[in-house]
A and B are shown apart, each in its own frame.
Chain A
Amino acid sequence: MNNLSRTDITGTVLEIQRWSVSDGPGSRTVIFLKGCPLHCPWCANPESQDRRVQMAIFSTRCVRCGACVRECPENVAIPAAEGAFGTDNCTGCGNCIRSCHGGARSWMGEEMTAGEVVDLVKKDMVFYRKSSGGVTFSGGEPLTHPQFLGEIINRCMDLGIHTAVETCGYFDWKAAEKTIAMLDFIMFDLKHMDEATHKRLTGVSNRLILENILKISSFGIPMVIRIPVIPGVNDDEHNIRATAVFVRDHLPQAIGIEALAYHRLGVNKYQALGIEYPLGHIEPPSDSRMAALRKLITDTGVPSITADNDYDAQLVRSRLKSTPKHLTKDGPDNAQT
């Protein structure tokens, strides 16, 4: 690491995941940033909600050596096997993590400089080239780190790396505007169209989100709208149709809607953080239910994006900066073939 990147602007990175084929066009490196203004109970990355670095505890890896207990200056650490950890007296000195031989304790999140992030992103250049892929920023809400993000994207632009963001749409427009303008691709979550329900579910109103999406749309950046389908929460036909109609009528820039089936793969993360899983009773939607909802979307006149969609065709379009197609019945779906 050179000195220049040491003095870089920093941000809290939760995780960097290499080789994802489902977070934007081509093969991608996904950068998860910490901190989210929403608190959705179905969140698969609960460790991303808090902006601060947190400690995770993996009980099965604990070898009960007691090193953490011995090394903790505050006398608050307990062996991972003996339960979750979440004490306010912890100063975050990290002694217990460094001394843990079992790898049972780790920080969730790390302060990184933009330079460090880009160095990691660069490692997979050959894979982006071969797949027309790039880097995707996820979270948390990446656009709540507009400066940090802007710096990384700037450097990626210099390197010719395609950039995309996964956003919940809840961020300060003024602060994020410049950063957004540099993006090549946007994946925008619309969780519920009804303001009251949205507030009940996520803790915030959707008004800012809808305002932001309209503003983004005016930038002409290719965009996919994502709906996390949570049975019994937002999967009623009324909501799905309302979302599709909104997309059809107001977002000419959108390539389509990607309905994502809720999954429970985040469960063990809740355990590691010592939080109870709030959606214990909800089953993931069936394939047939998902198919029905996707049909509803296409019936409204909006293409439904699935793993079988050719993202790459859209990427080529975004590179050529061609005028996006309006979402008429013979819109992008046919244009792809």
Chain B
Amino acid sequence: MNTMAAERVTDRRQTPEPTVSGARRKALMEQFRKAKPAICMERTLAFTNSHKQTEGQPVILRRAKAFRAVCESITVRIFDHELVVGTLGNGHRLGVLCPEMSWSWLKEEIDTITSRKAEPYQFTDENKKLFVEEIVPYWRGQSLEEFCLERMPEDHKNIGIGTGIMDTEMKWRSGVGEITPDHQDILFVKGYSGIKNEALDQLRQLDNLSRENQEKRDFYRSMIEIAEAMITLGKRYSTLAESLAENCSDPVRKKELLTIARTCSNVPANAPASFIEGLQMVFFVQLGCLLAESSPAFNVGRFDQFMFPLYQADIEAGRLDRAEALEQIECLWIKLSEIFWLLTENGAKYYAGYCGFQNLTLGGRKRNGRDATNEVSYLALEATANVGLHQPSVSVSIHPETPDEFLIEVCRLARRGNGMPAIHNDIIATQMMMYKGLPPDQARDWNGLGCVVPSTRKVSEWTYAGQYNMAACLEWALNRGKSRKTGQQFGLETKDPATFTSFDDLLESFYGQVKKLIKTGYETTIIQQLVHQESVPRPFFSAMVEGCMESGKDLTRGGAKYNAGPGWVVVGCADTANGLAAIKKIVFDQKKTTMAELCSALDNNFEGFEELRQLLVNSPKFGNDDDYVDNLQVELADFSDREFRQYRDVLGLPFHSAIMGLTFNIPTGNSLGALPCGRFAGVPLAEGSSPHPGTDISGPTACIKSLGKMNHENQPGGTLLNLKFLPKAVEGERGLYGLSALIRAYFELGGYHVQFNVVDARKLLDAQLHPEKYGSFVVRVAGYCAIFTECTKEVQNEIIRRTEHCAL
């Protein structure tokens, strides 16, 4: 592409009569709605059986061979109307179990999994029997979970498991996830045959079998297994499509099936040669990711960038028109919503709504600094609006030269009220990547990961190693290290708060608690990284990240060209800042109460202390453009950054901090007693770096100003701002311009991410009462989307509770 103008191949405003009607989308959506999410055991069984046959072999090779066995044996299915095909096994909406990571949870929950409230899965009796009799006995004592727990010291377990104070479950019970395939430089260039050939070449070049080279040899052999596996999966689909075509009486569908057959005979083996082949390649890779390790955050990456050349070529050759391209994208979107990451009951409560965090990024800049928006960016937004499901998690990257036209389309989608897309500041994301250690040109090519994390296809990292509850540290500083809820001694036995004579005394105790908690977090991650290296290397993912093929090393051992240290998420930052500000104001500035009285109010959950609570509630709150408290929030975030930065992970890379966070605010809030910001015991904490719900009462601009004061750059694991509007506030073209100006202003102030929930509370309450009326009503829950009616009541209430900025 030479000119920017040429990247708008068609003018959207002058689109001719559509060649497709949307009937296919409707039919596919109907099929989607009818299908019930289920657990498929085919992957689990094939993976296990393979391991039985490879005992004693190198771990990485065993994992690669097992993956191949899976791809060779799982059921292949093509459903009516589909243009993009593939399933995780025998069914429609499926998740798979990785017993090598953790099997215990499913064993414990086997009787409730089909009936539980949050995200029930279909699980046949036959499969249950298979699981108990065949799978569990083999993996007992051999899973990542057991290895990790065996190594964690008691102290770390006491504070870090099921407490709501610190949590690393996603890393001791699940694969790493959190990766973006390098479509641009690897998969869309050479396909899996190319990968296989490179591995063969590398093997031939190993001139001696030193210890190091032995390990490389194991690695390259694994690469070949992985490539063969993916090639086979494609061929099996091709064969199936061909035979379906043979028996198909409808000439239109027959033609489509033959196209599918052709597509799958080319990808993923080779570089995609057409738009549809590109889409199919993307989906095969997503399937591979989940079959390899059922984890969250397998990102599609910069979809508009790697798809545009194929789009342009097809359009120019007259093989495709815009409406067909849109329909094909919609087909992919629906497929991405079908596959999901299997959740424990606890996880399901908090990661609401059959969500896989498959982040897909649009817009942004190219490496040469030019705007990267193209026609596929617009098509992808349109498809997202049309399909309206929770996947992919669409992110957009906005920079000063992003065309207003694109930003307006982004706002138009955001205004539909389902929380998509996540809107990111390209400039700050780039700086975050540089802070993680990437050179500027790579940093600029960042893409969204999971909910709101900046990452890139070039980097291997644990973006979410765990989360810690900062408000707990405040509780401990005010209770000599003890939990107010359980009385357990979690923190340091700091000074009696009644003896604090200044705000600095309080800060000293508080920061002491934070330091200790962060150190525990760091140590926990090191243990887990070691276990991952030893027992669950990642051959499938090593094939799609630059550097591993060259170095002959797996991702877990630092094989990628770029590596970044682990990220830890701060939860409850605003509650802590608000609490500190309230004490500063009421106890030390105005002397309206004493530390002793405050502590007994907290002990009693404010019962009998309503007047004091009102004073606390009415003291400055983060999110109102008030430096008194905003300064504290900035200080807390900076402290978290400095503390983590001093620690190094197993590859020698610095840890980093983030203030984003899914729905962590619920369990973390649950674990705490009353807080000095006036919050009652058990109430959820603030979400990400957003203000505490209901306390930002000065309108969205004040909220944005507060957030803009933070150093987003030093939270490279992401920050999160959720703004909720009632539809009235953003109606008409004026509303769109209003939203777009808010975004531009927030980004000029240095903010990183914002997303909008544009819904009215009545609609949400109604959806809660009558889920049947709102089949696929999607609401973004803290950085990702879920179907509202499939969320638990707690999460639903949380959405409703958030401040409603309403400019009537």
- A residues near B (Cβ < 8 Å) are 17-22, 26-27, 63, 65, 67, 101-103, 123-124, 126-127, 129-131, 133, 263, 265, 306-312
Contact of B526 with A by CB under 8 A:
no
Chain A min CB distance to B46 (Å): 55
Known: A22-B807, A101-B610, A126-B748. A307 touches B735 (CB 8 A): yes
Complex partner residue of A311 from B734, B742, B749, CB under 8 angstroms: B734
Query: How far is it, in angstroms, between the C-alpha of A121 and the C-alpha of B737 when the chains are bound?
Result: 20
Query: How far is it, in angstroms, between the C-alpha of A100 and the C-alpha of B614 when the chains are bound?
Result: 9
Q: Are A309 and B808 in contact (CB under 8 A)?
A: no
**Residue among B614, B735, B805 with the highest chain A CB neighbour number at 10 A:** B614
Q: Are A27 and B741 in contact (CB under 8 A)?
A: yes
Given contacts A21-B737, A129-B745, A307-B733, 9 further A-B contacts (CB under 8 A): A19-B742, A123-B701, A126-B745, A127-B742, A129-B748, A130-B744, A265-B808, A307-B734, A308-B732
Q: Are A103 and B741 in contact (CB under 8 A)?
A: no
Contacts of B744 in A (CB 8 A): 130-131
Contacts of A101 in B (CB 8 A): 610-611, 614-615
Complex partner residue of B807 from A17, A126, A131, A309, CB under 8 angstroms: A17
Q: Are A21 and B614 in contact (CB under 8 A)?
A: no
- B residues near A (Cβ < 8 Å) are 610-611, 614-615, 618, 625, 698-702, 705, 729-735, 737-738, 741-742, 744-745, 748-749, 805, 807-808
Query: How far is it, in angstroms, between the C-alpha of A23 and the C-alpha of B363 when the chains are bound?
Result: 32
Q: Are A133 and B741 in contact (CB under 8 A)?
A: yes
Query: How far is it, in angstroms, between the C-alpha of A26 and the C-alpha of B729 when the chains are bound?
Result: 13
Q: Are A21 and B735 in contact (CB under 8 A)?
A: yes
Q: Are B737 and A307 in contact (CB under 8 A)?
A: no
Name the residue of chain A whose CB is nearest to the CB of B611. Answer: A101
Contacts of B733 in A (CB 8 A): 307-310
Query: How far is it, in angstroms, between the C-alpha of A123 and the C-alpha of B749 when the chains are bound?
Result: 12
Known: A19-B700, A22-B807, A126-B748. A307 touches B611 (CB 8 A): no
Query: How far is it, in angstroms, between the C-alpha of A127 and the C-alpha of B745 when the chains are bound?
Result: 6
Query: How far is it, in angstroms, between the C-alpha of A28 and the C-alpha of B428 when the chains are bound?
Result: 27
Q: Are A126 and B730 in contact (CB under 8 A)?
A: no
Q: Are A27 and B610 in contact (CB under 8 A)?
A: no
Contacts of A127 in B (CB 8 A): 701, 741-742, 745
**Residue among B732, B805, B807 with the highest chain A CB neighbour number at 10 A:** B807
Name the residue of chain A whose CB is nearest to the CB of B744. Answer: A130
Query: How far is it, in angstroms, between the C-alpha of A18 and the C-alpha of B806 when the chains are bound?
Result: 11
Q: Are A131 and B737 in contact (CB under 8 A)?
A: yes
Please name 20 pairs of A and B residues whose Cβ atoms are closer than 8 Å in the assembled complex, sorted by A.
A18-B700, A19-B701, A19-B805, A21-B738, A63-B610, A63-B614, A65-B611, A101-B615, A123-B625, A126-B705, A126-B748, A127-B742, A127-B745, A130-B742, A131-B737, A131-B738, A263-B808, A265-B808, A308-B732, A310-B737
List the 8 shortest-distance A-B pairs measured between CB atoms, nearest first.
A307-B732, A131-B741, A21-B738, A101-B614, A130-B744, A18-B699, A130-B741, A130-B745
Complex partner residue of A312 from B700, B732, B737, CB under 8 angstroms: B737
Contacts of B735 in A (CB 8 A): 21, 307
Contacts of B748 in A (CB 8 A): 126, 129-130
Q: Are A21 and B807 in contact (CB under 8 A)?
A: yes
Looking at chain B's contact residues, is the secondary structure mostly helix, strand, loop, or mixed? helix
Query: How far is it, in angstroms, between the C-alpha of A306 and the C-alpha of B734 when the chains are bound?
Result: 9
Q: Are A21 and B611 in contact (CB under 8 A)?
A: no
Contacts of B730 in A (CB 8 A): 21
**Residue among B700, B731, B741 with the highest chain A CB neighbour number at 10 A:** B741
Known: A123-B625, A126-B749, A130-B745. A22 touches B698 (CB 8 A): no
Name the residue of chain B whose CB is nearest to the CB of A123. Answer: B625
Query: How far is it, in angstroms, between the C-alpha of A119 and the C-alpha of B293 when the chains are bound?
Result: 56
Known: A130-B741, A308-B733. A102 touches B749 (CB 8 A): no
Looking at chain A's contact residues, is the secondary structure mostly helix, strand, loop, or mixed? loop
Contacts of B618 in A (CB 8 A): 103
Known: A21-B807, A22-B807. A102 touches B614 (CB 8 A): yes
Contacts of A131 in B (CB 8 A): 737-738, 741, 744-745
Q: Are B614 and A19 in contact (CB under 8 A)?
A: no
Query: How far is it, in angstroms, between the C-alpha of A102 and the C-alpha of B730 when the chains are bound?
Result: 32
Contacts of A307 in B (CB 8 A): 731-735
Contacts of B805 in A (CB 8 A): 19
Query: How far is it, in angstroms, between the C-alpha of A315 and the C-alpha of B702 when the chains are bound?
Result: 24
Q: Are A27 and B614 in contact (CB under 8 A)?
A: no
Chain B min CB distance to A16 (Å): 10
Contacts of B702 in A (CB 8 A): 18, 123
Name the residue of chain B whose CB is nearest to the CB of A126. Answer: B745
Contacts of A265 in B (CB 8 A): 808
Chain A min CB distance to B307 (Å): 31
Query: How far is it, in angstroms, between the C-alpha of A21 and the C-alpha of B699 when the chains are bound?
Result: 12
Contacts of B808 in A (CB 8 A): 263, 265
Chain B min CB distance to A307 (Å): 3
Contacts of A312 in B (CB 8 A): 737
Query: How far is it, in angstroms, between the C-alpha of A235 and the C-alpha of B340 when the chains are bound?
Result: 56
Contacts of B807 in A (CB 8 A): 17, 19-22
Q: Are A26 and B741 in contact (CB under 8 A)?
A: yes
Name the residue of chain A whose CB is nearest to the CB of B705. Answer: A123
Name the residue of chain B whose CB is nearest to the CB of A131. Answer: B741
Name the residue of chain B whose CB is nearest to the CB of A100. Answer: B614
Name the residue of chain A whose CB is nearest to the CB of B807. Answer: A20
Query: How far is it, in angstroms, between the C-alpha of A307 and the C-alpha of B730 when the chains are bound?
Result: 9
Q: Are A21 and B729 in contact (CB under 8 A)?
A: yes
Name the residue of chain A whose CB is nearest to the CB of B738. Answer: A21
Query: How far is it, in angstroms, between the C-alpha of A271 and the C-alpha of B610 when the chains are bound?
Result: 26
Contacts of B734 in A (CB 8 A): 21-22, 307-309, 311
Contacts of B610 in A (CB 8 A): 63, 65, 101
Contacts of A26 in B (CB 8 A): 737-738, 741
Contacts of A130 in B (CB 8 A): 741-742, 744-745, 748
Contacts of A124 in B (CB 8 A): 701, 705
Query: How far is it, in angstroms, between the C-alpha of A124 and the C-alpha of B698 when the chains are bound?
Result: 12
Query: How far is it, in angstroms, between the C-alpha of A63 and the C-alpha of B733 when the chains are bound?
Result: 43
Contacts of A27 in B (CB 8 A): 701, 738, 741-742
Name the residue of chain B whose CB is nearest to the CB of A21. Answer: B738
Contacts of A65 in B (CB 8 A): 610-611
Q: Are B699 and A19 in contact (CB under 8 A)?
A: yes
Query: How far is it, in angstroms, between the C-alpha of A323 and the C-alpha of B506 when the chains are bound?
Result: 64
Contacts of A308 in B (CB 8 A): 732-734
Contacts of B614 in A (CB 8 A): 63, 101-103
Name the residue of chain A whose CB is nearest to the CB of B702. Answer: A18
Query: How far is it, in angstroms, between the C-alpha of A309 and the C-alpha of B611 when the chains are bound?
Result: 49
Q: Are A306 and B732 in contact (CB under 8 A)?
A: yes
Name the residue of chain B whose CB is nearest to the CB of A133. Answer: B741
**Residue among A22, A26, A308, A309 with the highest chain B CB neighbour number at 10 A:** A22
Name the residue of chain B whose CB is nearest to the CB of A44. Answer: B808
Name the residue of chain B whose CB is nearest to the CB of A125. Answer: B745
Contacts of A126 in B (CB 8 A): 705, 745, 748-749
Contacts of B615 in A (CB 8 A): 101
Contacts of B738 in A (CB 8 A): 19, 21, 26-27, 131
Query: How far is it, in angstroms, between the C-alpha of A124 and the C-alpha of B744 when the chains are bound?
Result: 13
Contacts of A311 in B (CB 8 A): 734
Chain A min CB distance to B224 (Å): 54
Query: How far is it, in angstroms, between the C-alpha of A63 and the C-alpha of B700 when the chains are bound?
Result: 29
Query: How far is it, in angstroms, between the C-alpha of A131 and the C-alpha of B704 when the chains are bound?
Result: 15
Query: How far is it, in angstroms, between the C-alpha of A266 and the C-alpha of B748 when the chains are bound?
Result: 36
**Residue among B611, B701, B744 with the highest chain A CB neighbour number at 10 A:** B701
Chain B min CB distance to A290 (Å): 13
Query: How far is it, in angstroms, between the C-alpha of A265 and the C-alpha of B806 when the chains are bound?
Result: 12
Name the residue of chain B whose CB is nearest to the CB of A265. Answer: B808
Chain B min CB distance to A129 (Å): 8
Query: How far is it, in angstroms, between the C-alpha of A124 and the C-alpha of B618 when the chains are bound?
Result: 23
Q: Are B611 and A18 in contact (CB under 8 A)?
A: no
Contacts of A309 in B (CB 8 A): 732-734
Name the residue of chain B whose CB is nearest to the CB of A99. Answer: B611
Contacts of B737 in A (CB 8 A): 21, 26, 131, 310, 312
Query: How far is it, in angstroms, between the C-alpha of A308 and the C-alpha of B615 when the chains are bound?
Result: 44
Chain B min CB distance to A58 (Å): 13
